[in-house]
Structure formats: structure tokens, C-alpha cells
Amino acid sequence: MLVKNRMSRNVVSVTPDTTLYEVMKTVEDNHFDGVPIVEDGRVLGVIDERVIMREFCACCAIQNREAGIDVDMPIPFASAQISIEPDKRRIAHFLHRRTVRELVLPDEEVITVSEDAPIEQASYLMFCNEIDLLPVIDNGGKLTGVISKGDILRVFDEIFGYGAKGGDRVMIAVPDVVGRIAEVTGLMKRNHININSIVATQTRIIDTVLIIMKVERGKGDKAKKVLEQQGFKLIHPEMS
């Protein structure tokens, strides 16, 4: 499955000259995880509520420290990119009078993903960089969409099939040897049990793999019985 099959194509972006208020309103009104920053067709990064509010709090913390106010109550982050005057500390002034440009670091690496990349790559980039939204680009570097953690989770849900169309869930623990998955799928085929999805993942037990299957609804008990008869170890409890 490729990123282009799951990304959102109707992209709302902002420019470096967009006010922070406009960013916040766009994110809030549309329930976005963030919005890409684009200038002259080039993606400069992503901005979200967390970045803006962190910067505001950091600015206030610096002002408090300089004014000798609340110095005994530090916050975890107190390094700001924006300098604001003490008489403009209110958040409304901060949002309306500051722009995205002031929060864009010129040397900061822009994390994007190709529309032709596998969905796993997008998930990996989000995990490694602790981000919720990735701009998607084509071969020419043009923004063609965005993919969010929500999009990734929807794929995850489809693979494991937990929803109403999910079928019956069966979990077994098998030795990590060649051919075990083929043996399981062959067993299901011979017993006319359709597999909707199958995932194999490592466990904390050495040389053991956990196989999670979703079989057609109503065939779960039959699948378990067949597996047990062939010596497979079922894992309980399951959530169908």
C-alpha cells in the first residue's frame, strides 16, 4: 500500500506570512493535526497548535524571568525564537501580530514523504521524528497531499479488522521457523475458512512469533478448533 492511496489530497497550506491566529483558526475549524508551510511551491515544514503554544509559553517564561516574576515556577521549555515586549504578552496580541515566518528555522530539516513511498515509511518517519503530519511530495518536490497519524491508524484498523466488518480474531503462538505461516494459511484453505487479514509479529519470547488472523465472521470457533487439532497454541483472551 502506497502513501498516495491513503493521503488527503485537498491540502490547506499556509505561507510564511500567515499570522499565527490564522493558523490556529484553520487547524481548529478543520480539526487538522497541522498544516504545511509552502512558499513559491516549496515545502518549508509543518506548523501546528503545539508549536505555537509552546512558543507562546516560552516567550512568557523568558519575560517572567527577566522581570523577576514567578522565577520559582519554571516550565520545561523556556527557549523562544520570538522576542515579544512585556506589554504584548496577551495571547491575542501574540497570535495576531506574529507570523509563521518567525517560527521557521532556515536550517531545519524538512521532513516529507514521497507519494510513491510505502505507507510503512510514512509511519516510520512519524514515529522517529515524533510528528503527527507529513507533507507528501511528488518526484518534482511539489506538495500533492498530506498524511496524518489518523490515516495511518485507519490502515492499522483495516489490517487488524477490529470494526464491524472485521470478522473473528484468532491468535496463535508459533516457533519462528520457515513455513509456519504457510502451514496456517494452508490449513485454513483446506477447511474452507477465508482469511480476511493476517499479521505476524515478534513476541518477548525468544524464537516465537505471534500470528494474528481475522477470519470470516462466524468461522472463528471452527478455525480455533482446527488449529488446536493440529497442535497450534492458541492465545487467550481474544477480542473479536
Where are the domains positioned within the chain?
3-155, 166-234
3-155 belongs to which homologous superfamily?
Answer: CBS-domain (3.10.580.10)
The domains spanning 3-155 and 166-234 adopt the same CATH topology:
no
Does the pLDDT at position 42 exceed 60?
yes
Non-local (6+) Cβ contacts of 148 within 8 A are 8, 33, 132, 133, 134
**Whole-number percent of the chain with pLDDT over 70:** 86
**Whole-number percent of the chain with pLDDT over 90:** 52
144 alpha-carbon distance from chain centroid? 18
Predicted confidence at residue 156, as pLDDT, reads: 84
State the pLDDT confidence band at 142, using cuts at 50, 70 and 90.
very high
pLDDT, tens digit, for every residue of 156-207? 887 776 665 668 889 999 988 899 899 999 999 999 999 988 988 887 778 8
pLDDT, tens digit, for every residue of 27-41? 999 999 999 999 998
* Overall pTM > 0.85: no
Q: Which whole number is the average pLDDT over 52-76?
A: 71
Predicted confidence at residue 76, as pLDDT, reads: 57
Predicted confidence at residue 77, as pLDDT, reads: 55
Closest CA to 221 of 179, 162, 167: 167
Predicted confidence at residue 164, as pLDDT, reads: 59
**Least-confidence region, from 51-55, 67-71, 127-131, 182-186:** 67-71
Non-local (6+) Cβ contacts of 7 within 8 A are 115, 136, 144, 145, 146, 147, 151
**CA 79 to CA 212: how far, in whole Å?**
46
**Domain spanning 166-234, CATH class:** alpha beta
Predicted confidence at residue 47, as pLDDT, reads: 94
Does the pLDDT at position 240 exceed 50?
no
